[in-house]
């Protein structure tokens, strides 16, 4: 197989099929021949659009069988502009190169545009910041979101800037570190002190009755999704005391990555995240037993005290292991400090 002819013209790649191509599907062979620059789905789309020629003739069937020695040309269009508009929103950038960007997301920032949040999101900020360095995800100049943090959860996120990085990172997040190439750790301030220093919550998640939140559900339910969270108690607050409320700072590591997983699992074992408006409402009155000024600080803390403090992964292009940590944000650190001083 010859390398693509880079002199063949703007957006045009020309390749020659070697002996190993004989009998293979056009889309399968071409995805490999392009060196991973395009996913197989993207190659199939190009074929359907008439952008692929074999021996000078347009071919629109992805399953067409290849023969050795055939010349294949691919017209690759310029990536389309992203639909969301770029916005000049400040970003706390921990690392950036041609393939990806790592940021420390603040609480209150929505990751992706959606109903009620079409502007002011992380995606809007990244489109503005990255500009022309976005080479296109699936043919569109947009940042590749491979994992998300809830709006009110702060911490480390990685975002792909190329199709290759997007696919590699998506695969790493899909198996949640089973291959050893991904590590994620969250810090959660929870009500009460778990009876064990370490533990595992293995409970499937599905939609709650309101169809918006998540809940632990029987594994036989159609929407049940396998979910496992490992936790370690880092600090205990007011342990053994009866004159105030106990709490704990817990590290959570995900074996799966379901929506609201940590928040639902910690509430399920009786230790909801402090400030959680969706899964900790039944515990909000506990703040009344705290001394001032901690009492007022906790009662006015309107988000979950959850922070993605650590993210480690293998770089999709260099294969170097990268590790990033972000300090706990000031508002959450202030609450934790108040519990330390009980």
**Structure tokens that stand for 289 in this block:** 């037993």
Cα–Cα distance, 190 to 171 (Å, whole number): 31
Q: Decide if 62 contacts 48 (C-beta within 8 A).
A: yes
Cα–Cα distance, 231 to 195 (Å, whole number): 12
For residue 35, count CB atoms less than 10 angstroms from its CB and return exposed for 0-12, middle for 13-18, buried for 19 or more: exposed
Q: Among this protein's residues, is 202 annotated catalytic?
A: no
Per DSSP bridges, beta strands 140-141 and 80-81 are parallel
Which residue in the list 5, 20, 92, 150 is annotated as catalytic? 150
- If phi over 0 gives left and psi between -120 and 50 gives alpha, with beta otherwise, what is residue 227? beta
Q: Decide if 158 contacts 170 (C-beta within 8 A).
A: no
- If phi over 0 gives left and psi between -120 and 50 gives alpha, with beta otherwise, what is residue 280? alpha
Q: What are phi and psi of 268, to 5 degrees?
A: -65, -35
Would you name the residues annotated as active-site residues? 150
């Amino acid at each position: 197989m010859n390398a693509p002819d880079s002199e063949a013209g703007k957006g045009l790649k020309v390749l020659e099929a070697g002996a190993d191509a004989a009998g293979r599907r056009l889309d399968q062979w071409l995805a490999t021949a392009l060196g991973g620059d395009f996913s197989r789905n993207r190659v199939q789309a190009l074929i359907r659009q008439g952008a692929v020629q074999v021996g000078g003739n347009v071919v629109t069937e992805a399953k067409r069988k290849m023969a050795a020695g055939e010349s294949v040309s691919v017209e690759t269009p310029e990536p389309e502009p992203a639909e969301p508009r770029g916005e000049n929103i400040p970003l706390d950038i921990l690392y950036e190169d041609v393939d990806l960007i790592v940021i420390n997301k603040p609480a209150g920032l929505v990751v992706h545009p959606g109903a009620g949040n079409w502007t002011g999101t992380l995606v809007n900020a990244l489109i503005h910041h990255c500009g022309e360095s976005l080479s296109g995800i699936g043919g569109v100049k947009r940042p590749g979101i491979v994992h998300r943090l809830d709006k009110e959860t702060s911490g480390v996120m990685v975002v792909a800037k190329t199709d290759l990085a997007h696919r590699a990172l998506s695969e790493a997040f899909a198996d949640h570190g089973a291959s050893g190439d991904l590590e994620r750790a969250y810090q959660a301030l929870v009500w009460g002190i778990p009876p064990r220093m370490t533990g595992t919550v293995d409970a499937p998640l599905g939609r709650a009755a309101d169809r918006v939140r998540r809940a632990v559900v029987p594994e036989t339910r159609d929407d049940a999704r396998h979910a496992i969270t490992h936790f370690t108690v880092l600090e205990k607050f007011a342990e053994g005391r009866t004159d105030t409320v106990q709490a704990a700072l817990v590290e959570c590591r995900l074996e799966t990555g379901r929506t609201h997983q940590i928040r639902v699992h910690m509430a399920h074992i009786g230790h909801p995240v402090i400030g959680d408006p969706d899964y900790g409402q039944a515990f909000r009155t506990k703040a009344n037993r705290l001394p001032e000024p901690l009492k007022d600080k906790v009662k006015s803390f309107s988000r979950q005290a959850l922070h993605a403090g650590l993210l480690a992964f293998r770089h999709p292009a260099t294969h170097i292991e990268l590790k990033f940590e972000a300090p706990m944000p000031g508002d959450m650190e202030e609450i934790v400090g108040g519990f330390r001083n009980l």
